[in-house]
């Protein structure tokens, strides 16, 4: 299935909201803050919340009956867990109510040129996900352009659904240049998610025009409120 075609000039509020995975991954977040974040996500009708594994059950309870799905992370944030542990994390997350998984690639093995290991590590999580969406984080801050391209190709070979720029916990996050490169490195079957440092309406629209169809964000309310205000002003 081809990825959705989005354009900053024609995108609607509903389409923009459904590009956003509202991120609730900061280590210091309390249960109250997670609940408030889920409630915000439901009010703004975003695509998903991405919560820490320990909060998947809580988020699933809060968002039951809404149009916002629950996602979580696997091998986060460094990607260095063994494949068996990543698979166990994926299975537990699905049991707890997650339907989307953002897994971190084994960054060191990709940089080492161990493509077979990287591909099979991803493939094992995709198999465990049983058709649920798997987004694979490359963590571009640590990669060369060649490694980004190779990582994207391994993600597609392993059967995952998205390539993703960043965890948000590395020295740098998403860039327009990297999103364009990633979009060009995979077929239309694979979508691109950008994350890390996307905090304004202008930034998210630029990333969408570069080819991203999902965006991880914490400034969700500010972004979508700005879009509404702009739409009212332009009428």
Residues marked active site are found at 102, 164, 193
Tell me the C-alpha distance between 50 and 162, whole Å.
15
Tell me the C-alpha distance between 190 and 151, whole Å.
13
Alpha helical stretches, state H, the chain:
13-17, 31-44, 56-63, 83-96, 107-111, 115-129, 145-157, 176-185, 201-210, 220-233
CA dihedral 85→89→92→94, nearest 10 degrees, is -130
Whether cis (ω within 30° of 0) applies to the bond prior to 77 is: yes
Phi first, then psi: what are they for 216, rounded to 5°?
A: -80, 130
Please give the structure tokens belonging to residue 76. Answer: 């986060």
Please give the structure tokens belonging to residue 174. Answer: 């998403």
Tell me the C-alpha distance between 10 and 18, whole Å.
15
Tell me the C-alpha distance between 121 and 87, whole Å.
9
CB-based contact 103:122 (threshold 8 Å):
yes
């Amino acid at each position: 299935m081809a990825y959705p075609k989005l354009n900053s000039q024609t995108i609607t509020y509903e389409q923009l909201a459904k590009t956003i995975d509202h991120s609730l991954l900061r280590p210091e977040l309390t249960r109250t803050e997670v609940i408030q974040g889920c409630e915000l996500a439901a009010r703004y009708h975003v695509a998903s919340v991405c919560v820490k594994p320990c909060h998947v059950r809580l988020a699933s309870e809060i968002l039951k009956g809404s149009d916002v799905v629950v996602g979580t992370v696997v091998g986060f944030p460094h990607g260095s867990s063994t494949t068996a542990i990543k698979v166990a994390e994926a299975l537990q997350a699905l049991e707890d109510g997650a339907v989307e998984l953002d897994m971190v690639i084994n960054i060191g093995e990709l940089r080492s040129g161990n493509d077979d290991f990287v591909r099979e590590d991803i493939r094992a999580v995709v198999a465990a996900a049983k058709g649920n969406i798997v987004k694979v984080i490359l963590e571009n801050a640590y990669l060369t352009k060649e490694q980004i391209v190779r990582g994207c190709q391994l993600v597609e070979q392993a059967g995952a659904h998205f390539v993703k720029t960043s965890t948000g916990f590395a020295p740098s996050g998403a860039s327009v240049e990297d999103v364009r490169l990633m979009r060009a490195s995979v077929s239309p079957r694979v979508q691109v998610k950008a994350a890390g440092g996307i905090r304004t309406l202008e930034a998210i629209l630029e990333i969408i025009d570069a080819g991203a169809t999902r965006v991880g964000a914490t400034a969700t309310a500010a972004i979508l409120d700005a879009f509404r205000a702009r739409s009212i002003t332009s009428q």
